[in-house]
Structure 1
Amino acid sequence: MTAAPSRRGRGRRPAAEVRSDVLTAAGRLLLGEGIQAVTFERIAKEAGASKTTLYKWWPSPGALAAEAFFAQSEPLLEFPDTGDLRVDLIAQLTSFVRLLTDGGAGKPISELIGAAQMDPDLSEAWSRTYALPRRELARERLRSAQRNGEIGPDADIDITIDQLWGACYHRLLVLRIPLEDLNVERLVASALRGAR
């Protein structure tokens, strides 16, 4: 005898479940169709949430899109600490480039950054939920390398981060040349020469 499928009861879903469903729907729309698809009306319908809830939690669809991008990319962009900084930087930057190319995030991330120039809510959310947390992960890894003597005690960690990830964003947003052509190993070697 098979058990009857469980049915969701009536009533309100837990807020954490609703938030997770909303972020999943927004991330799927952002990566699949671009930022123009991320509207409160569409996300509310796809996530089974009310627009009132979305307005309560996010000041704009752009702010929601920024948080959804972080939620989608966070597991893919974990920063390893194997004890070998060169290996870890190559692994992290390779994951980032793959997310932008094979993962299809290049267009949405370009759209988010472009829209953030005109949308202060999106700009604040992008910095708070994605850019600054990602930067802090890189700082932590480079500080660890500094403590272990892999880079010099006077190395400018923020400049090193700018060199590494700035090269990716420069190619993506300014030069608009294929990121697949970026030699990550040479980029890391060059940045580490300066940091040492």
Structure 2
Amino acid sequence: MTTPRSKVPNAARRSQSSRRAILTAAFDLAGELGYGRLSIEAIAARAGVGKQTIYRWWPSKGAVLFDAFLMLSEGPEGEAEPAALPDTGDLAADLKAVLRATLTELTDPRISEPMRALTIEVAGDPELAALYAERLDGPVREIKRRRLRVARESGQLSPDVDLDVAIDSIWGPLLNRWLLRTGPLTPEYADALVDTALRGLRPT
């Protein structure tokens, strides 16, 4: 009679499962409770882990929430998923589609409230701001930059257009209106932003 071989737990898989449970809990609780009431204790209880597990990986609730946003762009095993803006050859249509999708996220309380909390935290924490610039804002800006570079090379934008200024011109007003709550966020507003920005960016 043979003895069944005991199963050895996969520590890496277990750690990844705990990590995703923590990040999901942080993201959900930030939307439900607001950032001010979010705590490491609440995250640990929701994720079913001990506080020491969270503190072993993250120094603060702001750092946990930041990684929770990064998780949105990961695949099921924690790998980063490739991303690119649409390129149908029609720059205006592509940008309008992207801004409308951004607007949908910004008006979804489950996403917008944690995002607003993270924005406030980044503004007051230089270390988190540097991490945000390196791991989130920088890569996202490069995705936008690549799409606009293609448009510039194909003659849809002026050859001397500064791509970073173009990015700020297209996305900046939408994010500013969302952050400061200075006006309604509508698909028509998103379309108008693209049309207005492109009038100044296209070849004369």
Q: TM-score range by the shorter chain?
A: 0.7 to 0.9
Is the counterpart of residue 173 in structure 1 residue 156 in structure 2? Answer: no
Is the counterpart of residue 46 in structure 1 residue 56 in structure 2? Answer: no
Match of 2:190 among 172, 184, 187: 184
Structure 1 103/174 Cα, relative in aligned 2: closer, same or farther at 3 Å? closer
Report the structure number with the largest CA radius of gyration.
2
Match of 2:158 among 152, 163, 187: 152
Is the counterpart of residue 83 in structure 1 residue 89 in structure 2? Answer: yes
Structure 1 164/175 Cα, relative in aligned 2: closer, same or farther at 3 Å? same
User: Could you tell me the TM-score, scaled by structure 1's length?
Assistant: 0.80
Q: Which amino acid aligns with 1:146?
A: R
Per the TM alignment, residue 89 of structure 1 is displaced from its structure 2 partner at its CA by: 0.8
Asked if 2 retains the 8 angstrom alpha-carbon contact of 1:62 and 1:121, the reply is no
1:91-141 deviation per Cα after TM superposition (whole angstroms, max 9, x unaligned): 111111111113543333222222222233432343334322222211121
Name the SS for the 2:157 alignment partner. Answer: coil
Structure 2, gaps ≥5 residues long: 1-7, 75-80
Per the TM alignment, residue 37 of structure 1 is displaced from its structure 2 partner at its CA by: 4.2
Q: How many residues align?
A: 188
1:35-74 deviation per Cα after TM superposition (whole angstroms, max 9, x unaligned): 2343222212222233223222222110111221243377
Structure 1, gaps ≥5 residues long: 1-8
Structure 1 58/81 Cα, relative in aligned 2: closer, same or farther at 3 Å? farther
Superposed CA RMSD: 2.8
State the distance in 2 between where 1:23 and 1:82 align: 35
Asked if 1 retains the 8 angstrom alpha-carbon contact of 2:103 and 2:187, the reply is no
Structure 1 194/118 Cα, relative in aligned 2: closer, same or farther at 3 Å? same
State the distance in 1 between where 2:180 and 2:21 align: 34
State the distance in 2 between where 1:179 and 1:27 align: 23
> Which deviates the most, 66-75 or 41-50?
66-75
Structure 1 48/158 Cα, relative in aligned 2: closer, same or farther at 3 Å? same
Asked if 2 retains the 8 angstrom alpha-carbon contact of 1:139 and 1:157, the reply is yes
Structure 1 11/160 Cα, relative in aligned 2: closer, same or farther at 3 Å? closer
Aligned residue in 2 for 1:71 = 71
Asked if 1 retains the 8 angstrom alpha-carbon contact of 2:157 and 2:201, the reply is yes
State the distance in 1 between where 2:134 and 2:90 align: 29
Name the SS for the 1:135 alignment partner. Answer: helix
Per the TM alignment, residue 11 of structure 1 is displaced from its structure 2 partner at its CA by: 8.2
Match of 1:135 among 141, 166, 169: 141
User: Could you tell me the TM-score, scaled by structure 2's length?
Assistant: 0.77
Q: Which amino acid aligns with 2:63?
A: A
State the distance in 2 between where 1:42 and 1:129 align: 26
Aligned residue in 2 for 1:100 = 106
Is the counterpart of residue 163 in structure 1 residue 173 in structure 2? Answer: no
Per the TM alignment, residue 147 of structure 1 is displaced from its structure 2 partner at its CA by: 2.5
Structure 1 31/175 Cα, relative in aligned 2: closer, same or farther at 3 Å? closer
